[in-house]
Structure 1
């Protein structure tokens, strides 16, 4: 019985050595060749999330730098619509005549030619391309492609009881991509002529 036990232990040891040898003799894989290091992966930039980026509403027009980007894949064409207006009334609630306006509200957007356009209630603003009429909505539409910044800036001062509002939105020509609109609606409720409390400046890169 003891002899059989010794033979069993010996056979088991040989078998173990054989398995170990077979494992040790296996060719080693060249992992550097199979999985070469290509450097850190560059993050993929996507504008599909329609992130809202903030700008400076108090920046002068002379500081403007076009914030758009170049997109060369899956390029879409959008119809962009801007609607804006301001209101100024007297103590009786009647609309103030153009000759008596005190409001100096400004709405800005970036047109299809990458130019910063200014719409204002201030007839003396030399940077303006369009003068708004008291209490009347003004609408601008144009086409833009992926990478264009859908930009809206609203700022200015006015007498108590005056207001300014603007909305810009975009829809792709196939109707499948709707960009979330940017909107500002501000009232001036302080005594005298004062600046709106929350000037607005933001843009979304069209995906």
Structure 2
């Protein structure tokens, strides 16, 4: 009986020696284990930005403002348009201004909701601005949600001529980046000819 008593006492002592008080554990530094990485910026989904097509051959007189009214969560965007044309001779040099034959047009919707024409040829009376051979033109303006980021590129030129344009928009807070609309066309047929891929499209700013 005494043997059993001693064995029971020994087991109690052994268990007591194996148990640890909660004060034996060091406090974890959760700030070190899980540091704050800052607020993540929203990821932009281009799938939500629908490209709507227009008619690149339609006259300016047919234009109807395609924007929509958005009254909630309205964002302000910085819109940038860049465009450039080039016409070269058989040696690859820029053709002098007096000898230019290209008749390219780039159109966009300005902040005042009007369709604006930029032309490569100074005889185009619809143009508000003219391009210089081989030199890029950049325009910037602000627009709000519901505004159509619009780009039209069309025209004719001699062999070796080209026209390119890009319009893009980024919200002022940097959280929303709109899918750019881009055109880069080369006229490679003999003589004067129309570009192969005239373009007209727009995206409603979200």
**TM class by smaller structure:** 0.7 to 0.9
| 1:105 counterpart = 2:101 | no
| Alignment correspondent of 1:162 | 161
Query: Take 2:144 and 2:189, find their aligned partners in 1: how far apart are those partners?
Result: 41
Query: Take 1:107 and 1:172, find their aligned partners in 2: how far apart are those partners?
Result: 24
Q: Measure how far apart 1:48 and its partner are.
A: 7.8
Query: Take 2:78 and 2:111, find their aligned partners in 1: how far apart are those partners?
Result: 10
- Structure 1 residues 202 and 71: CA distance shift in structure 2, 3 A: same
| Alignment correspondent of 1:74 | 73
Query: Take 1:153 and 1:98, find their aligned partners in 2: how far apart are those partners?
Result: 24
Query: Take 1:90 and 1:201, find their aligned partners in 2: how far apart are those partners?
Result: 29
Q: Measure how far apart 1:122 and its partner are.
A: 1.2
| 1:59 counterpart = 2:58 | yes
For residues 92-113 of structure 1, the C-alpha deviation after alignment (integer angstroms, 9 at most, x for no partner) is 1110011100000000000000
Query: Take 1:139 and 1:98, find their aligned partners in 2: how far apart are those partners?
Result: 20
SS of the equivalent of 2:48 reads coil
| Alignment correspondent of 1:33 | none
SS of the equivalent of 2:170 reads strand
Query: Take 1:50 and 1:66, find their aligned partners in 2: how far apart are those partners?
Result: 18
| Number of positions where the alignment pairs a residue of Structure 1 with one of Structure 2 | 161
For residues 71-95 of structure 1, the C-alpha deviation after alignment (integer angstroms, 9 at most, x for no partner) is 0010000000000000000011110
For residues 148-204 of structure 1, the C-alpha deviation after alignment (integer angstroms, 9 at most, x for no partner) is 000000000000000000000000000000001000000000000000011000000
For residues 32-86 of structure 1, the C-alpha deviation after alignment (integer angstroms, 9 at most, x for no partner) is xxxxxxxxxxxxxxx9811000000000001010000000010000000000000
| 1:199 counterpart = 2:201 | no
| Alignment correspondent of 1:88 | 87
| Alignment correspondent of 2:29 | none
SS of the equivalent of 1:154 reads strand
| Alignment correspondent of 1:148 | 147
TM-score, with normalisation over the residues of structure 2?
0.77
